[in-house]
Amino acid sequence: VTTAKFSHSRVQKMSSKKDKVSARAENNGDSDEEASGTSSFSIEFLSRYLADKLGIKGDDKPKEKILDEFNVDGIVSYIKKNNCKKIIVMAGAGISTSAGIPDFRSPVSGLYHNLQKYNLPHPQAIFELSFFHENPKPFFELAKELYPGTFKPTICHYFIKLLNDKEMLLRHYTQNIDTLERVAGIPDEKLVEAHGTFNKGHCLQCRKSYTQTWMKDKIFSDIIPPICEDCPGVVKPDIVFFGENLPEKFHKSILTDFSQCEVLIIMGSSLTVQPFASLIDRVPDNCPRLLINREKAGHQSGLSLFGFGGGLEFDQEDNTRDAYWLGDCDDGCVDLADKLGWGDELRELFKKEHERIDKEELQEAKKKKEAGKVKGEKKDTKL
């Protein structure tokens, strides 16, 4: 049960490096919120375990069929029939790859396959706090390459924005740190950035807070690592590294959101990072779940790995509520939107927003160029 601590870890690591992961989590000084999140998770975990072991799993009644069809059509017809207004979206790096940001684990294009130049002991080290303390440079060099502000949101981001505009979004839980949800206009109160964000940063020693602009200036001026103005500490963006606690908002929100979820949509995630991956097991038993991804994922959740059931059931004979759509997230979202009757609206929003962003970038570049010219002219006159 101790392995179910709510710090950032990976399923595969939990068995092989079980003790190390628990020890790291325990050393992190859990907040009250985290403690409450942890205990509710542990209770859920224990109750399933006991129910299984004591054979009180429920009666043998056949499970109620929730979806007419186990595909996008089945999900859309469920949403329409039940007028669903409490949809939760869970997302991973796959919703941003079409914007040009690599994910972690895709073969060839994934980040983990392209980190040789940083000379790391192992690929995940770049996001491990212990390694960061030893050598923060690789992380900042990578951050420079992937810095938010250089990319535009995808169709998928605007699909989630439209869900919200139509008052159908209960919450969007993202593992992404690229801030593209914010750029797409998903409001802060509907957004849970489970693995933190580049939006703000803190000094690791004195905790002084820094803005994204301050960090960006330093990183792009090659002042790597950025050093605190008040002490010799390194300033790290508020993204959650392996071994760090997840944000308070995550722990608070999951306690109330998932029990009222009407439909869960999971997009672009391998569902291997815990505790995020196990959230799929927190929705009610009769809540339909749709996975939109290039590959099947989530059919082995945290609980099912321990042999306690759980995970997406689309491959099981007695599946009543789970569906998947295999392919690119953007295509999956367009299909969903078309079937919900707002495909054209989605295409229009995407086009309009991208035009707006392009225009703003052009104006920004023009301003910078003019400012550079003025500086140059001043220099010339001095000379």
Residues acting as catalytic residues:
195
CB of 61 to ligand CNA, least distance (A): 35
Q: SS3 of 295, please? A: coil
Binds ligand CNA by CB under 6 A, chosen from 26, 230, 295, 355: 295
Which of residues 297 and 349 has its CB atom nearest to ligand CNA in the complex? 297
DSSP letters, 175-204, are ---S-HHHHHT--GGGEEETTEEEEEEEET
- Pairing of the two strands 273-274 and 263-267: unpaired
294, 327 contact by CB (below 8 A) = yes
Q: Distance from first CA to last CA of the chain, Å, rounded?
A: 71
- Residue 111 interacting with ligand CNA (CB under 6 A): yes
Interaction pattern, residues 2-41, with ligand CNA; x per rule: CB under 6 A: ----------------------------------------
- Residue 245 interacting with ligand CNA (CB under 6 A): no
- Residue 278 interacting with ligand CNA (CB under 6 A): no
DSSP letters, 85-101, are --EEEEE-GGGTGGGT-
Stretch that binds ligand CNA, among 69-77, 169-177, 182-190, 310-318 (CB under 6 A): 169-177
**Residue 267's beta-bridge partner residues?**
91, 292
> Which residue in the block uniquely carries the two structure tokens 């859920």?
44
**What's the CA gap between 331 and 325, in Å, rounded?**
10
Residue 114 makes CB contacts below 8 A (sequence gap 6+) with 102
Report how many residues bind ligand CNA under the rule CB under 6 A.
Answer: 29
- Residue 105 interacting with ligand CNA (CB under 6 A): yes
Binds ligand CNA by CB under 6 A, chosen from 186, 329, 340, 346: 329
- Residue 274 interacting with ligand CNA (CB under 6 A): no
Which of residues 178 and 238 has its CB atom nearest to ligand CNA in the complex? 178
- Residue 181 interacting with ligand CNA (CB under 6 A): no
At 108, list the tokens: 């060839």
Q: b vs e for 332-364, b when ≥16 Cβ sit within 10 Å of the residue's Cβ?
A: bbbbbbebbebbeebeebbeebeeeeeeeeeee
DSSP H or E segment with residue 329:
helix 329-340
Which residues participate in the annotated binding site for Zn(2+)? 203, 206, 228, 231
CB of 145 to ligand CNA, least distance (A): 11
Stretch that binds ligand CNA, among 95-103, 159-167, 247-255, 343-351 (CB under 6 A): 95-103
Which residues participate in the annotated binding site for NAD(+)? 93-97, 103-105, 175-178, 293-295, 329
Binds ligand CNA by CB under 6 A, chosen from 253, 270, 274, 301: 270
**Residue closest to 286 by CA, chosen among 302, 263, 304, 318:** 263
- Residues interacting with ligand CNA, by CB under 6 A? 92-94, 96-98, 101, 103-106, 110-111, 175-178, 195, 268-270, 272-273, 293-295, 297, 328-329
